[in-house]
Amino acid sequence: AQSVTQLGSHVSVSEGALVLLRCNYSSSVPPYLFWYVQYPNQGLQLLLKYTSAATLVKGINGFEAEFKKSETSFHLTKPSAHMSDAAEYFCAVSDAGNNRKLIWGLGTSLAVNP
């Protein structure tokens, strides 16, 4: 069965510091992988996705993620954190079957300190 593990339910960084949010997945087929962001009192918004093209994927707001098959990882990074990046981040993998369900990690709450 497919699964997603997000290491660290809470991450705190200083403004201007590197953001690294970790995601590991298990999948028996080539995965489609996604990162979503949820700002306070809002729905989830797609940040970026990997769909078997380039392994380094660039998303919105300066975020990017690298698909590493050998490590079954899809970590999210941003070189310099802004206060506005404070949010909940979710990693997801697309179910291998035809039902297109997303399998979700439990989320990582990112705090950005001034």
Partner 1 sequence: DADVTQTPRNRITKTGKRIMLECSQTKGHDRMYWYRQDPGLGLQLIYYSFDVKDINKGEISDGYSVSRQAQAKFSLSLESAIPNQTALYFCATSDNRANGYTFGSGTRLTVV
Q: Which residues bind partner 1 (CB under 8 A)?
A: 9, 32, 34, 36, 42-46, 49, 51, 90, 92, 94, 99-102, 104-107
SS3 state at 96:
coil
Query: What is the identity of the amino acid at 62?
Result: G
CB of 114 to partner 1, least distance (A): 25
Kindly state the smallest distance separating residue 104's Cβ from partner 1, in Å. 5
- Cα maximum dimension of the chain: 45
Q: Which amino acid belongs to residue 104?
A: W
Rounded least distance, CB 53 to partner 1, Å: 10
Dihedral-angle region of residue 16 (phi above 0 means left; psi in -120 to 50 means alpha; beta otherwise): left
Report yes or no: 95 and 103 within 8 Å, Cβ to Cβ.
Answer: yes
